[in-house]
Amino acid sequence: MNKPIPGIRFENGEALIALWSPTCNNAAILINQTEKLSLYKVDFGYWALNTRAIKPGDTYQFLLDDTPYPDPASLSQPDGVNGPSKALDLGPYQWKDRNWSNPPLEDYIIYELHTGTFTPQGTFDGIADKLDYLKELGITAIEIMPVAQFPGERNWGYDGVYPYAVQNSYGGAEGLMELVDACHQKGIAVILDVVYNHLGPEGNYFASYGPYFTDKYHTPWGNAINFDDAWCDEVRHYFIENALMWFRDFHIDALRLDAVHAIKDLSPKHILQELKERTPKGHHLIIEFDLNDSRFIDPIKKGGFGMDAQWIDEFHHALRVTAGGGQDGYYADFNGIVHLAKSYNSAYVYDGIYSPHRLKTFGIPAQDNPGNQFVVFSQNHDQVGNRMLGERSSMLFSFEMQKLMAAAVMVSPFIPMLFMGEEWSAQEPFLYFVSHSDPDLIKAVRKGRKAEFAAFHQDGEAPDPQAKETFEQSKLDWQRIDYTMIDYYKNLIALRKQFPALYQLNRKLVTTTINESDQTLLLERGDPHQNISCLMNFSGERHQTGVLSKLFDSADQRWNGPGSLKGYIQPQSIIIYTNHV
């Protein structure tokens, strides 16, 4: 049996309706609150109907044993997560990106953004208005935090409950299509953050349809998705078809899969491997993952799951501690410059060594995985937003240290990622915010946030996640741009693109030398013809060097630094220079 695509899609004016609900006795569709049509039962728990009675733009609900529910594969929820679904035909959109070709991962310079807070509009149109700015900055790919329909108008996106529906307050499906089209015309790839490890609590009717969840496992956010228990075949089909929809109908170039360590699957073929096998050539799968297990990114032919790349939080942790950040919570596992050097060399810091924070030996080596399989950053939505007060690096580190941290990412043998606003040292926090309507859920979220900060020994109260002011505080203020810092980032990105030793992510041509007493790290990147040396000084003292000719010095006065000195490296700065082989 060729399994149907869940939901409603249109072919030649006819609606093809497919619903999976193996536990109900009868199913029907209610169109525009007036017309009821029965669905007929087919194999594997599906109900189906082909009809011309429903048109694009009509609202509908499915009736399960006469109880109305939104479509779990809804493409649009114009009245929110509890309202009727809206039928959409995605086919008529006229794409203008026929000449677009998704670049290889090693060419990605990623810019992570949140649609609701990136611009004053908080919409896809607002992002489109900033594409020229991002292009001039040197960005080659934007990563959009989740857009699946969530409750209300304020959310990070990880409480989405309709994986197929694009958030209505952002601009809906057509708005996302127009944004992707515009990005491609500017030469910018689009990564979409998707959540396949859980579904949000409010508006979640999935258990009423069937066994989408399993009691075998638990996640920090609620019921685990059923990827390996009874009836799991159709749940797997539901999520794989969702991924394929983003590639096929929205021209998304890559997916960032949220926290795949929380996807529990003991099937002979892991859901991630199955997804990789179904992903069209030319598209990328990037995972957020904290198990330090290279099996997830190893090729399928070598026994891996075949994911194309993963985020490396450990690089971030080591960098922040080296820069002078605190060692509370999970940062306690990181000792600073020694671990930063190890991450440059090994990607994973914990690669089979004992972790004091976890109280166990953790990780395995990833020496055979190329540099284009690792995404690094000095900040991201989690590392900023999961601080109690949502402080960015600009609020925690000196101006000179911010420049050094940015360069430490950009000269790495990995894929660099920026978090929106860091390139101008934005002062606005990025806080955690929601707009739930259930009072008990709001209370639980507030309680959970307070408990989360206990590990970091932080006193006081976190800003109220439910308050609109918390969301408004998190919006970037484009009137407060620091053009000096933007110029710094532009030059840094341009330098990376200019030299093969920097943009070719050959981990075998990477060496590091550290001086713990001076808090300096020399990173050397090579290609067959030229070496690029990057000397970083994380201390508050000036140190003498033998470097006379510099390609780049973050202390240069053009970037409001103390000034470049021949034969010296200034405090909290980086010097980049070249040696021909």
Report residue 241 CA to chain centroid gap: 20
DSSP for 34-71, written as a single string: TEEEE-EE-GGGEEEEEESS--TT-EEEEEETTEEE--
Which three-class secondary structure state does DSSP give residue 256?
strand
Residue 575 CB burial class (10 angstroms; 0-12, 13-18, ≥19): buried
Question: Which of the following is catalytic: 258, 382, 422, 428?
Answer: 258
Count of other CB atoms within 10 angstroms of residue 25: 9
DSSP state of 333: G
CB 194 within 8 A of CB 160: no
Predicted confidence at residue 581, as pLDDT, reads 45
Asked whether 520 and 571 are in contact (CB, 8 A), the reply is no
In whole angstroms, give the CA distance from residue 134 to residue 256: 20
N-to-C CA span, the chain: 60
CB 152 within 8 A of CB 437: yes
Distance separating alpha carbons of residues 146 and 165, to the nearest angstrom:
11
Q: 560 with 484: CB under 8 angstroms?
A: yes
Neighbours of 36 (CB within 10 A): 12
Grouping H, G, I as helix, E, B as strand and the rest as coil, residue 295 is helix
Asked if 258 and 288 count as a contact pair (C-beta separation under 8 A), the reply is yes
State the catalytic residue, choosing from 112, 181, 288, 308.
288
Question: Residue 23 to residues 3, 39, 70, 393: CA-CA distances in angstroms?
Answer: 18, 14, 17, 51
Instruction: Name the 3-class secondary structure at 267.
Output: coil
The dihedral sign for the CA sequence 112, 118, 123, 127: negative
For 61-70, the pLDDT digits (tens) are 999 999 999 9
Q: Report the distance separating Cα 188 and Cα 140, nearest Å.
A: 5
Q: Is 288 a catalytic residue?
A: yes
347 closest CA partner among 290, 263, 428: 290
Domains of the chain: 7-86 (2.60.40.10), 108-497 (3.20.20.80), 500-580 (2.60.40.1180)
Contact predicate 120/241, CB 8 Å: no
* Vertex 44: Cα angle to 39 and 46 (nearest 5): 20
| Tokens encoding 284 | 């990328």
**What stretches in the chain show pLDDT beneath 70?**
1, 453-459, 580-581
Distance between CA atoms of residues 289 and 117, nearest Å: 25
**For position 179, what pLDDT does the model report?**
98
Residue 213 bridge partners (DSSP): 225
Question: In this structure, what is the dihedral angle of CA atoms 89, 91, 97, 100, given to the nearest 10 degrees?
Answer: 110
Query: How high is the pLDDT of residue 109?
Result: 98
Neighbour-count burial of 270, counting CB atoms closer than 10 A to its CB (0-12 exposed, 13-18 middle, 19+ buried): buried
**Phi and psi torsions of 113, nearest 5°:** -145, 155
Strand partners, 398: none
| Residue 106 annotated to the active site | no
